[in-house]
Amino acid sequence: MTASPPDSTPDPHMSDALPPCEQHVRQYAAVRNAHETELLEDYVELIGDLLKYQGEARSADIAARMGVSQATVSKTVTRLKSQGLVDSQPYRSLFLTEKGEAMAEMARKRHAIVLQFLRTLGVSDSTARIDAEGMEHHVSRETLEAMERFTREHCRG
């Protein structure tokens, strides 16, 4: 038996019950979707930062900062190139295509907003950095705007 599902109850106050199925599917799909681009965004963002602060972006630096092997970086860079985000000559520094630049800029901004928001909320710097890194890929435009608004209104300085 199906235990008489208390189904089809679009009660606006039942906020903690199961959402309707199609909505639930959309939620999980959004998460899976974010996962696909997450890593590439992290790479592109890091490459952008390295170019900006160190003048060049070497695979070795990326491997050191990401905490993964150089082989892993090499493989991922191949994917980045195949997606038209990065350009490079073998054994040379990496650089970003226009598309990669745009993605890096977007990621950089978003990261900064989330990080500043968490700090303003009262989270310590080191925790804020860790959480921002994980959260940033799952923050929609709408939430990002809410965070910006909050930071603007509450930030001392």
Partner DNA sequence: GAAAAAAGTTAGCCAAGGCTAAGACATTGT
Partner DNA sequence: ACAATGTCTTAGCCTTGGCTAACTTTTTTC
Binding residues for a second copy (CB under 8 A)? 2-6, 15-19, 21, 23-31, 34-35, 42, 49-50, 53-56, 64-68, 112, 115, 118, 121-131, 133-135, 137-140, 142-143, 146-147, 149-150
In sequence order, the β-bridge partners of residue 95 are 87
Q: Please, what is the end-to-end C-alpha distance for the chain in angstroms?
A: 61
Which among 61, 51, 34 is positioned nearest to 86, based on CA atoms? Answer: 51
Which among 54, 37, 58 is positioned nearest to 104, based on CA atoms? Answer: 37
Contacts of DNA in 96-155 (CB under 7 A):
none
Residue 53 near which of a second copy, DNA, none (CB within 5-8 Å, type-dependent): a second copy
Which among 62, 61, 58 is positioned nearest to 88, based on CA atoms? Answer: 58
Instruction: Report the residue from 90, 126, 141, 156 that binds DNA according to the rule CB under 7 A.
Output: 90
User: Counting contacts by CB under 7 A, is residue 67 touching DNA?
Assistant: yes
